[in-house]
Structure formats: C-alpha cells, structure tokens
Structure 1
Amino acid sequence: MSALPPKFDITRDEIARVVHAFYAMVRDHPGLGPVFAAHVTDWPKHEEKIIRFWANAILYERDYSGNPMAAHQDAGNVRPGMFAPWLGLFDLVLRMELRPDQAAAWSELAHRIGRSLRAGVVEKVHGADGIPRLF
C-alpha cells in the first residue's frame, strides 16, 4: 500500500475488472486484436502486468516494472492512428464497468498517457523526408 491517496476513488478489484473486460474486447477488435496478438502470447500474464501498471498509476502501488514507451516504440506494428480506437474502446469499457465519476477520472488519465505514447511512436515513425507519418 502507498501513503499517497489514490488519484480517484477506485479499488484494485475494479481496476482488474476493467483490464479484463478491455482485453476481452481487444482480442475481438478487427484492428487492435492482431496488433496485440503479435506480441501477447500469455494473456493472463499480460493482463496482470497491466493491472499492476494501472494500480501504480492510480493507487500509487509500487509493484509495476516496465517501460510502456519503449514497449510501444519497439513493437514495430504500433502506429499513431491506432491510439484513437484504443482509447475509444477503453472509454467504452470504463463507462460499462465503472461509475461515471470513476470512468471520467480514469479516462482523463488514460488519454493523457495515450497522448504521450502516441507522441513517442510518432517520433519513431518518419517518412523518407523526415516528416512524421500520422497514420
């Protein structure tokens, strides 16, 4: 447990519920499913890592180790245009699984993180002319 209060009112169990519901929908998504399937071979292990990520980001638990920016940059098949569908699907799950105040607070955090990740991916994806490719 952390001495810091959570960013908003949510439990670890609620975080886990959202993560499980989100990745169930990702696996069926025609655009996102293949991107994740190319990298995730053990879904329960991946989901547990993402639960730790969000528990760290929201509850200030210190049980996550990883570098999301590097993972997205190094994946090779993540493109800037994929973040809008990812966030849209995530927002849908938040609205389905949480109270409106929780969904809004988590969505704001997810969009801020998504903008940062997208910017990191854009920096890695340039055309021959050096201009970022925003597809």
Structure 2
Amino acid sequence: MLSRFDITAEQIDRVVAVFYAAIRRHEVLGPVFGGHVRDWPSHEAKIASFWKKAILYQPGYDGNPMQVHMAAGDVRPEHFAIWLALFDETLRRTLTPEPAAQWSALAHRIGRGLRLGVEDLARPASSIPSLR
C-alpha cells in the first residue's frame, strides 16, 4: 500500500523528536504535557507510531487519541491552535514544502476533531454544540 504522501518513517521520527523538544520548552504546552508524560522517549515512539499508521499505513499504533485528550482534564480547546502552529513550524523547518503541507493538512483535520471532542466534554449537557 502506498503512503498518503512521500515521507519516510525516519522523517516522521525526526519531526516527532523536534516537535516534542519544542513542546517541552513551550510556556503554555510544556506544563500541560509535562503533567502527563513521564517517559518522553516512550511517548515520542508512541506518537511516531500513530503518525506512521496514519501516513504510511504501518501497523503498530492501537491507542485512542480522543479518549486520552478528553480524559487528561487540563487539555483546553485553545491549546489546539497553539499545538498546530508549533507543529506547522516544526514541519516547515524539518521537511520540504510539499510533504510539510500535506502532513499539516492531515494534522489540522485530526486536531479539529480532537478540539471538538474536548469542547464537547466541557459543554453543559443542555447546550447546543458549535460545529465550527
């Protein structure tokens, strides 16, 4: 099976490593991630596995990102815009333009879904959801 776009497993590993180095230094996201991640190498390997499955269709990842983000308790909808901006910056610095743009589009679709899940969790049961 062909990948979604032209990228290697090694490039995915590199993007994930560069991104999480930036996350650990980030003034807003660093403390959120730091409160949940105890073993950074294992976390990075798991996230790289997620992206390899999503992009390269490699087996291995079997987690539930929506469940994890909703259960965290301190992940806020506004964190996703920051996360995506930092991820886009990492993609631009690490990859050539075409795969960076393609991966960014995929990340934004996934991020939008996760943000909506977190927003829904915080919304009172009687309110009407926003689909924006």
Deviation at 1:129, TM superposition (A): 6.9
Among 6, 10, 23, the residue aligned to 1:9: 6
TM-score by length of 2: 0.94
1:65 deviates by 1.1
In structure 1, give the amino acid aligned to 2:83: W
The partner residue of 2:100 within 78, 91, 103 is: 103
Q: How many residues align?
A: 130
Residue 22 of structure 1 aligns with an amino acid whose one-letter code is F
1:37 to 34, 38, 57: 34
Which whole-Å CA distance do the structure 1 matches of 2:88 and 2:37 have between them?
A: 22
Matches within 5 A, 1:1-135: 4-126=1-123, 130=127
Percent of counterpart pairs with the same letter? 56
- The amino acid that maps onto 2:22 is M
- Counterparts of 1:37 and 1:64, CA distance in 2: 22
Query: What TM-score, normalized by structure 1, do the two folds share?
Result: 0.92
Q: CA deviation at 1:130?
A: 3.7
Structure 2 unaligned residues grouped into runs of 5+: none
Distance 1:131 1:79, change over 3 A: farther
Read off the aligned partner of 1:96 and give its amino acid letter: R
Paired letter, 2:59: R
The residue type equivalent to 1:89 in the other structure is: L
In structure 2, C-alpha distance between the alignment counterparts of 1:129 and 1:101, rounded to whole Å: 44
Q: CA deviation at 1:132?
A: 6.4
Q: Secondary structure at the match of 1:64?
A: coil
SS at 1:114 equivalent: helix
Moved over 6 A (4+): none
**Contact residue 83 and residue 118 of structure 1 kept, 8 A:** yes
Provide the alpha-carbon RMSD of the alignment.
Answer: 1.5
1:121 & 1:5 partners in 2: Cα distance?
A: 32
